[in-house]
């Protein structure tokens, strides 16, 4: 594959990335911030997500309505999201609209209005979002479980914050956090598609190239000490019981991440996986069943999730544990590993046709790894995974002491003790 990626780093720390994709008439561009909820203090919990929302409320040059109108006129969907480790804003447009799209996103991030009345209204919007989470059992269980799995750590706190914290985000607190954390050294500006690198660098430099800009606030993201909780939350009005089984897992930067990806796919990452076939296809015990790794820069968590009838939760737990024990005690079949590799490589190759996928990968790799990881390198690492690698990884991570359980719903007396988790 011919590498069409170019990188420019300005003296103020700003990183600018482009990937030229010949034959396209579209460009996906965006700005990513090296800040997420894990970089917040307990009192600031939710402020990254709050700022993500607040930036749409207007700038010194544009009202919220004008931002919405310009986004619609450009024909693209202006997307934004907040995770534990980053915040992203991106938009896909036709190539001729790239300067206008960049001006819109850059203005939102660099010149937010943060009007007090707007912020109060957005507080209400986010509190309604919190209520939606509470009304969505799988998301609500996820938040309860994370709080127990990462006790007293920012990874265990909800990305959207709490009613108490969000209600305190006035103009002063919001503007101060924005000024300290949206500095050029914390920004990754990227585009993929029919984009000229030098033109894009010029656009980014005009908006964020001030070498006298405020340095970013120094934040030390402490490595969490993962717990092994058993969280049982009874909620009798639910029709289903919701179950999480979790174990430690390689981080996003671990050299074992490719091995972990293949093992996760085999256990529960697809419709041909062991859990899907055993629990859904062979026994009809669940509609929603799956597993996979949730990875951060310094830690990972492997989770199995199932939504089942309360009458079946014990059986589904036992079947899930059976698959973990199987992964610990015997190598995967060669055909399972081959299938997982083919699936992963197909996903990588298909993503190369999407400017949105490619620009997202560019930004994430820069923030997580500090470099571009070419698709050829990823494919080579996937192809190098062996059955013995996966067996060793399972034996390291799926241990009695480190397994954790979460359950929510009408649980019919459901209970778990440590002896049941014996591997």
Per-domain boundaries in the chain: 5-208, 230-421
- Residue 422: per-residue pLDDT: 82
Query: Does the pLDDT value for residue 170 go beyond 90?
Result: yes
Query: Does the pLDDT value for residue 215 go beyond 90?
Result: no
CATH class of 230-421: alpha beta
Put the strands of the sheet holding 26-33 in their side by side order. Answer: 5-9, 15-20, 187-193, 26-33, 87-94, 79-82
Query: Does the pLDDT value for residue 184 go beyond 90?
Result: yes
Say how far apart CA 234 and CA 307 lie, in whole Å: 14
Query: Does the pLDDT value for residue 150 go beyond 60?
Result: yes
> Which class for 168: exposed (0-12), middle (13-18), buried (19 or more C-beta within 10 A)?
middle
Cα maximum dimension of the chain: 64
- Residue 217: per-residue pLDDT: 58
5-208 and 230-421 have identical folds: yes
Quick one: pLDDT band at residue 161, thresholds 50, 70, 90?
very high
Q: Calculate mean pLDDT across residues 130-143.
A: 94
Q: Calculate mean pLDDT across residues 359-363.
A: 97
Say how far apart CA 285 and CA 278 lie, in whole Å: 9
Q: Calculate mean pLDDT across residues 88-110.
A: 97
- Residue 412: per-residue pLDDT: 79
Q: Which fold has domain 5-208?
A: Cytochrome Bc1 Complex; Chain A, domain 1 (3.30.830)
Q: Calculate mean pLDDT across residues 237-254.
A: 95
Quick one: pLDDT band at residue 401, thresholds 50, 70, 90?
confident
- Residue 39: per-residue pLDDT: 96
Q: Calculate mean pLDDT across residues 107-127.
A: 96
Helix or strand holding residue 257 (H, E): helix 257-268
Query: Does the pLDDT value for residue 230 go beyond 90?
Result: yes
Of 109-123, 155-169, 218-232, 407-421, the range with the lowest mean pLDDT is 218-232
Give the DSSP per-residue string, 333-349.
Answer: PHHHHHHHHHHHHHHHH
Query: Does the pLDDT value for residue 332 go beyond 90?
Result: yes
Helix or strand holding residue 259 (H, E): helix 257-268
Query: Does the pLDDT value for residue 403 go beyond 90?
Result: yes
- Residue 210: per-residue pLDDT: 76
Query: Does the pLDDT value for residue 198 go beyond 70?
Result: yes
By C-alpha distance, which of 9, 10, 5, 30 is closest to 20? 5
> Which class for 415: exposed (0-12), middle (13-18), buried (19 or more C-beta within 10 A)?
exposed
CA distances from 42 to 35, 140, 153, 165, 373 (A): 15, 20, 9, 8, 34
- Residues designated catalytic: 52
Quick one: pLDDT band at residue 350, thresholds 50, 70, 90?
very high
User: What pTM did the predictor assign?
Assistant: 0.94
């Amino acid at each position: 594959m011919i590498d069409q990626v170019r990188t420019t780093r300005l003296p103020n720390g700003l990183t600018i990335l482009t990937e030229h994709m010949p034959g396209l008439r579209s460009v996906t561009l965006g700005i990513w911030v090296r800040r997420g909820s894990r970089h917040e203090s307990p009192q600031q919990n939710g402020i990254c997500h709050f700022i993500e929302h607040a930036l749409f409320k207007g700038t010194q040059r544009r009202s919220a309505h004008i931002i919405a109108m310009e986004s619609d006129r450009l024909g693209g969907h202006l997307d934004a999201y907040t995770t534990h480790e980053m915040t992203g804003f991106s938009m896909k447009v036709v190539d001729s609209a790239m300067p206008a799209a960049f001006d819109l996103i850059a203005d939102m991030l660099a010149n937010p209005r943060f009007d007090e009345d707007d912020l109060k209204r957005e507080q209400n919007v986010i509190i309604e979002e919190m209520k939606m989470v509470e009304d969505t059992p799988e998301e609500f269980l996820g938040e309860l479980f994370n709080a127990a799995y990462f006790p007293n750590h920012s990874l265990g706190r909800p990305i959207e914050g709490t009613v108490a914290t969000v209600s305190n985000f006035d103009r002063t607190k919001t503007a101060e956090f924005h000024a300290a954390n949206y500095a050029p050294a914390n920004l990754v500006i990227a585009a993929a598609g029919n984009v000229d690198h030098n033109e894009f660098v010029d656009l980014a430099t005009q908006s964020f190239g001030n070498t006298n800009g405020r340095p970013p606030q120094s934040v030390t993201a402490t490595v969490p000490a993962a717990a092994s909780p058993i969280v049982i939350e009874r909620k009798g009005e639910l029709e289903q019981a919701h179950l999480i089984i979790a174990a430690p897992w390689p981080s996003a930067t671990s050299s074992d991440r490719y091995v972990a990806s293949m093992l996760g796919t085999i256990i529960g990452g697809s419709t041909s996986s062991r859990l899907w076939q055993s629990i859904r296809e062979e026994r009809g015990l669940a509609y929603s069943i799956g597993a996979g790794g949730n990875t951060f820069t310094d830690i990972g968590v492997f989770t199995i999730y199932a939504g089942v009838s309360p009458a079946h939760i014990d059986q589904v737990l036992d079947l899930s544990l059976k698959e973990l024990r199987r992964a610990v005690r015997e190598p995967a079949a060669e055909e399972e590993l081959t299938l997982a590799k083919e699936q992963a490589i197909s996903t990588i190759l298909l993503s190369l046709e999407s400017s949105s996928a490619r620009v997202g990968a560019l930004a994430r790799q820069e923030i997580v790894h500090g470099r571009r990881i070419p698709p050829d390198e990823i494919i080579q690492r996937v192809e190098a995974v062996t059955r013995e690698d996966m067996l060793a990884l399972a034996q390291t991570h799926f241990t009695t002491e480190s397994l954790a359980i979460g359950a929510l719903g009408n649980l019919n007396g459901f209970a778990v003790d440590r002896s049941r988790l014996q591997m």
